[in-house]
Amino acid sequence: MIKTIKAVAASGNLSTGFREESLIAAVRSGASFLGCDAGSTDSGPYYLGSGQPRGPREGVKRNLRLMLREALSAGIPVVIGTAGHAGGRPHLRWLAEIAREIAREQSWHFRLATIDSEVDKETLAAAFLRGEITPLSPAPEISEKIILSAERFVAMMGIEPIQKALRAGAQVVLGGRCSDVAIYAAVPVLAGIPKAVAFHAGKILECGAAAVAQRLYPDCMAAELRPDGFTVEPPNPGLRCTPQSVAAHTLYENADPYTLVEPGGILDTRSARYEAVSERAVRVTGGRFTESPRYTVRLEGAALAGYRSIVIAGIRDPLVLRQLDAFLSGLRKVVAGKIAEIFPQGEQQYALEFRVYGRNGAMGALEPVAAIEGHEAGLVIDVVASSQKLASDILPLVWHTALHHPIPEYEGMVSNLAFPFSPPGIDVGPVFRFCANHVWQLEDPCRPFQMNLEEV
């Protein structure tokens, strides 16, 4: 008979943290393994494209140190996915070095597995030419040329590479880009828990305490998995789960709350039941898992789009605000003329955006109430050019022209903008765009994911 598996999620993201006492309570009450997601595409393509992790490093180190301390003491594995926030090769190396640093400082010894999910561009281009890559919706245009000119691609691993590392004897598994659910489903499925239960529990655990009724701060979550279902309960006595809060988390980051697509199959939650078994715990049953006829993993890619410089300004003049669209349209034409006069042909590769906060700054074209209802608005002037120097050179032309751009009601010199900084312009650096949202058909679920096992 399959034993109960107790899964513990340290937090929703390794960089955001958790309460130490919550982790201790969860692990020391009989945890089978400890997991944590470390990244996402929520922050956009910058981290994937640049290779930079999202820290703070000391915060990640603190959280990982506490996780390793508790797991090694309890003799249970640690599974972390999407290292460094984007899960590329440099992100994985960054997190692995933190783990080694902790081991040296604490005189801890364990078997560390790192699973590389970055896909070499030549490998991916060959797969594309073989017809193994198909688009999701929406997906940008992709071609051999686009693949070879991009900065970085990662494949999102499922449970199989994690299970391979655990079978090889890993006590700590650090994964590159990884399905959030796979972090928590790999161990239970390896132990014989049905995928329908393991994948559904993984979905609820992925963001730590986010499935509670009111998450006051990031914290831990625990679930007990049995063959017929799972029970989720926060180890922090100040937090509680309700059937509504747990069911609602199934919708989180999903367009369809009933169908969750994972590498290797689909979880169907239409028949799922969420029942309170105490004031703080919820029992979940009834999910169904269907194996996919072909195994696919999602591909994410980032390409350099240019270099950004911005200005933040405030507009308080009611006459300007009343005709803001016409004001910005006229300003754009004047600025375009100045740029054409100053910069030689071929050096005018730039994009200029005006983002108005106080009207549609957050939602853009999707904003249902595209009207300025207050007495002031914030304006972000956003220049993206083919080089940082060009963006920096264009920006003063824009903001200075905007500062004195006329409107019909005024004669003489006017000043339209208030700048919070001096100088007004800020060089932001490289800008990346997502260049892949596709799936890759694999014969072997572990094929793109290279594992390294070491004693630390």
Looking at the predicted structure, is the pLDDT value of residue 371 above 70? yes
Task: Report the C-alpha dihedral over residues 336, 342, 345, 348, rounded to 10 degrees.
Answer: -50
Q: Are 245 and 386 in a shared domain? A: no
pLDDT tier, 364 (very low <50, low <70, confident <90, very high otherwise): confident
Count the domains in the chain: 2
How large a percentage of the chain has pLDDT more than 90?
Answer: 90
Give the total residue count for the chain: 456
Quick one: pLDDT at residue 257? Answer: 80
Domain that holds residue 390: 317-417
For residues 43-52, average pLDDT: 96
Quick one: pLDDT at residue 375? Answer: 92
Q: Are 14 and 87 in a shared domain? A: yes
Distance CA 82, CA 154 (A): 10
Quick one: pLDDT at residue 2? Answer: 67
Find the DSSP H helices in 84-190: 89-106, 121-129, 144-149, 159-167, 180-190
Using N-to-C axis directions, what is the helix angle for 57-74 and 20-27, rounded to 10°? 20
Q: Which two tokens stand for residue 448?
A: 């793109």
DSSP 258-295: TEEEETTEEEE-TT-EEEESSSS-EEEE--EEEE-SSE
Q: Are 325 and 193 in a shared domain? A: no
Greatest alpha-carbon span in the chain: 87
For residues 101-111, average pLDDT: 98
Q: Are 184 and 225 in a shared domain? A: yes
Distance CA 375, CA 319 (A): 11
For residues 224-247, average pLDDT: 97
Helix (H) / strand (E) element for 33: namely: strand 33-37
Provide, for the chain, the percentages of residues in helix, strand and coil under a 3-state DSSP scheme, each rounded to the nearest 5: 35, 30, 40
Q: With the C-alpha atoms ordered 8, 262, 52, 78, is the resulting torsion angle positive or negative?
A: positive
Summarised one tens digit per residue, pLDDT across range 291-323 is: 999 999 999 999 999 999 999 999 999 999 999
Domain-located, residue 426 = no
- Under DSSP, the state recorded for 29 is T
pLDDT tier, 1 (very low <50, low <70, confident <90, very high otherwise): low
Quick one: pLDDT at residue 425? Answer: 96
Find the DSSP H helices in 343-429: 388-404
Summarised one tens digit per residue, pLDDT across range 50-95 is: 999 998 999 999 999 999 999 999 999 999 999 999 999 999 999 9
Q: Are 77 and 123 in a shared domain? A: yes
Q: Are 241 and 337 in a shared domain? A: no
For residues 124-131, average pLDDT: 97
How large a percentage of the chain has pLDDT more than 70?
Answer: 99
Domain-located, residue 308 = no
Summarised one tens digit per residue, pLDDT across range 4-31 is: 999 999 999 999 999 999 999 999 999 9
pLDDT tier, 247 (very low <50, low <70, confident <90, very high otherwise): very high
Domain-located, residue 305 = no
Where residue 444 falls (left for φ over 0; alpha for ψ -120 to 50; beta otherwise) is beta
Quick one: pLDDT at residue 317? Answer: 95
pLDDT tier, 251 (very low <50, low <70, confident <90, very high otherwise): confident
Q: Are 412 and 441 in a shared domain? A: no
